[in-house]
Amino acid sequence: MISVLLVDDDALTLELHRTYVERVDGFRVVAECTGARAAVSAILERPPAEGIDLVLLDMTMPDGTGLDVLRHVRARAADVDVIAVTGVRDADVVRQMVGLGVAQYLVKPFSFAVFRDRLEQYRAYRERAREATGPATQSEIDAMLGALRPTASVALPKGLSPDTLDRVTGAVRGSGPLSAAEAASALGMSRVAARRYLEHLADTGQVVRSPRYGTPGRPETEYGWHP
Amino acid sequence: MISVLLVDDDALTLELHRTYVERVDGFRVVAECTGARAAVSAILERPPAEGIDLVLLDMTMPDGTGLDVLRHVRARAADVDVIAVTGVRDADVVRQMVGLGVAQYLVKPFSFAVFRDRLEQYRAYRERAREATGPATQSEIDAMLGALRPTASVALPKGLSPDTLDRVTGAVRGSGPLSAAEAASALGMSRVAARRYLEHLADTGQVVRSPRYGTPGRPETEYGWHP
DNA sequence: CGGGTTGTGGTCGTATTGGTCTCAACCTGA
DNA sequence: TCAGGTTGAGACCAATACGACCACAACCCG
């Protein structure tokens, strides 16, 4: 059983993630924190016997960032693994977190399927690390690290390509609310195709639809990012 | 140009690694240390302007281990990447180093070809991290991490020859973004084969995929070195 | 104030083009 | 010669553009 510590400043998010974790076999939540300082103490002071294996760490908290937490923990040689779970997508933050050894970096919001995949992947890494208790060969080490390699995520509906979805997602994130036509011209694709992807994102809850009135003619629906 | 610090207690090894680094384009050795304490000072005290990008870190040194070095560095928020280069293959050490955010773990001894591959892989990660200066999408972050983690096997997948891979790599490097068909005709090979190699390069993070719209019909994916 | 007109975007069917898979032919090394 | 691996050709599948038609809100005119 893998013991998990949840860290997030929002109680609602905490609860959601708890239910997520409990739906995955072999993982259990042993503690929760809403602040950076509390997280550091929880990780460092917990007796090793009932130690924490994995921390799901948010970035933004009132009394410090996830980066601060991780720096303290790493300095103390605490032997925990960390999955960053945050809405912060700044490339520099990602780089620093990777430098501090996060096993995965999950961008909120995400579906349960994505969450479960990441946890399963972490479990695979963990199993490999455990079974090779003695000296390992280079290729065993590679296999271990390779297990942490993010895999292509959930299967898309027919007619959608991962690459295009990625581009559309980026456009909506970058430019604020967009209509299908605007997204299409920004990406150099057709309005119909752009709309398909935006609809998919809306269906999976990653963007919100809202009608845009005022101009003559049928109202245009615009798609805005939903953090 | 990526600035490298070499850390190893053995002068001979240091020299060997220096020649290795200098044989790889775009990397240069800016400093060398033979001890743990010296390594920590070198990393922390060097002015940011001529900062160190990458540390090749040995594990066993007279005045401390590589783990100690890394813990100090991480606690100080130094923004350097690290490749562990050591003979130590203990699974627990590997796990701890991974937890401290090493980009690669190289077991001594190794050939120059292996060494170069790892450096190239690190470069791919670095480029991806740099090009996405703003907010990134989940899949961009995944691509970044995917570039970092070693592919399960060091050798190429069945069906790919090193020679052809070199030619395809050269074509993409030289001619900017290419579609599979364009690469095929430029190299005088079949579209299917060209695509196989381009896909491999994309999977290992050395080239980026992006769909090309505008014409009726299914969009063509183009493969670019690092736009 | 109300119904028709107009203009715009949503929706669907079809054509088109590249991606993807399978299997046979070829090449290389022992 | 044989075995394994690499390439290539064709068939099928998938993702997009385009155009026609439908739905909706604003506007206009009585």
Nucleotides in C strand less than 7 A from protein CB: 6-13, 15-22
Q: Which residues get their CB within 7 angstroms of nucleic chain C? A: A 179-181, 191-192, 195, 199, 215-221; B 179-181, 191-192, 195, 199, 215-221
* φ and ψ of A212, to 5 deg: -120, 105
Q: Taking the CB of residue A85, how many other CB atoms lie within 10 A of it?
A: 26
Strand B64-65, strand B60-61: pairing: antiparallel
Nucleic acid strand D within 7 Å of A152 CB: no
B contacts of A188 (beta carbons < 8 Å): 213-214
Nucleic acid strand D within 7 Å of B133 CB: no
Residue B134 is predicted with a pLDDT of 64
Measured in whole angstroms, the distance separating CA A137 from the mean position of its chain's CA atoms is 31
The domain limits of chain B are 2-147, 162-225
- For residue range B157-174, list pLDDT tens digits in order: 777 888 888 889 888 888
Assess whether the region A2-147 and the region A162-225 belong to the same CATH fold. no
> A40, A89, A201: which to substitute to probe chain B, counting the most B Cβ within 10 Å?
A89
For chain B, the three-class secondary structure string (H helix, E strand, C coil) is CEEEEEECCCHHHHHHHHHHHHHCCCEEEEEEECCHHHHHHHHHHCCHHHCCCEEEECCEECCEEHHHHHHHHHHCCCCCEEEEEECCCEHHHHHHHHHCCCCEEEECCCCHHHHHHHHHHHHHHHHHHHHCCCECCHHHHHHHHHHHCCCCCCCCCCCCCHHHHHHHHHHHHHHCCEEHHHHHHHHCCCHHHHHHHHHHHHHCCCCEEEEECCCCCCCEEEEECCC
Distance from CA of A64 to the nearest CA of B (A): 14
Residue B46 is predicted with a pLDDT of 74
Question: Distance from residue B209 (CA) to nucleotide C15 (C1'), in Å?
Answer: 26
Tokens representing residue A162 in the block: 């991962």
> B86, B145, B218: which to substitute to probe chain A, counting the most A Cβ within 10 Å?
B145
- If you average pLDDT over residues B137-158, what whole number do you get? 72
pLDDT greater than 80 at residue B73: yes
Architecture of domain B2-147: 3-Layer(aba) Sandwich (3.40)
pLDDT greater than 90 at residue B93: no
Strand B81-86, strand B178-179: pairing: unpaired
Decide if B134 and A99 are in contact by the 8 Å CB cutoff. no
Residue B126 is predicted with a pLDDT of 86
Tokens representing residue A88 in the block: 């912060």
Residue nearest to nucleotide C16 (CA to C1'): B217
Residue B2 is predicted with a pLDDT of 92
Q: Provide the pLDDT confidence category of residue B4 given band limits of 50, 70 and 90.
A: very high
**Which residue's entry shows tokens 């297990």?**
A147
Nucleic acid strand D within 7 Å of B189 CB: yes
Looking at per-residue pLDDT, the higher value among A107 and B149 belongs to A107
Of A94, A148, A193, the CB nearest to B136: A94
Residue A136 is predicted with a pLDDT of 66
Decide if A145 and B95 are in contact by the 8 Å CB cutoff. no
Distance from CA of B144 to the nearest CA of A (A): 9
Residue A31 is predicted with a pLDDT of 92
Q: Going by CATH, does the domain composed of A162-225 fall within 1.10.10.10?
A: yes
Looking at per-residue pLDDT, the higher value among B147 and A25 belongs to A25
- For residue range A104-119, list pLDDT tens digits in order: 999 887 888 888 988 9
The phi-psi region of residue B185 (left if phi > 0; otherwise alpha if psi is between -120 and 50; otherwise beta) is: alpha
- Angle at which helix A162-175 crosses helix A191-203, to 10 degrees, equals 80
Nucleic acid strand D within 7 Å of A161 CB: yes
Name the residue of chain A whose CA is nearest to B101's CA.
A101
Distance, in Å, from the CA atom of B122 to the CA atom of B206, rounded to the nearest integer, reads 10
Cis peptide before A47 (omega within 30 of 0): no
Q: Are the C-beta atoms of residues A136 and A144 closer than 8 Å to each other?
A: yes
Nucleic acid strand D within 7 Å of B186 CB: no
Distance from CA of A174 to the nearest CA of B (A): 8
Of B91, B141, B152, the CB nearest to A132: B91
Q: Starting from the edge strand earliest in sequence, which strands make up the sheet with B178-179, in order?
A: B178-179, B220-224, B208-212
Nucleic acid strand D within 7 Å of B211 CB: yes
Decide if A98 and B213 are in contact by the 8 Å CB cutoff. no
Distance, in Å, from the CA atom of B66 to the CA atom of B69, rounded to the nearest integer, reads 5
Q: Which residues contact B121 (CB under 8 A, 6 or more apart)?
A: B104, B147, B148, B150, B204, B205, B206
Cβ–Cβ pairs < 8 A, chains A and B: 162
> A76, A79, A98: which to substitute to probe chain B, counting the most B Cβ within 10 Å?
A98
Looking at per-residue pLDDT, the higher value among A151 and B76 belongs to B76
Name the residue of chain A whose CA is nearest to B109's CA.
A138
Average confidence (pLDDT) per 10 residues, chain A, 227 residues: 93 94 94 93 77 91 92 84 90 88 87 86 85 70 78 73 88 85 90 91 85 82 82
- For residue range B49-63, list pLDDT tens digits in order: 677 899 999 999 999
Residue A135 is predicted with a pLDDT of 67
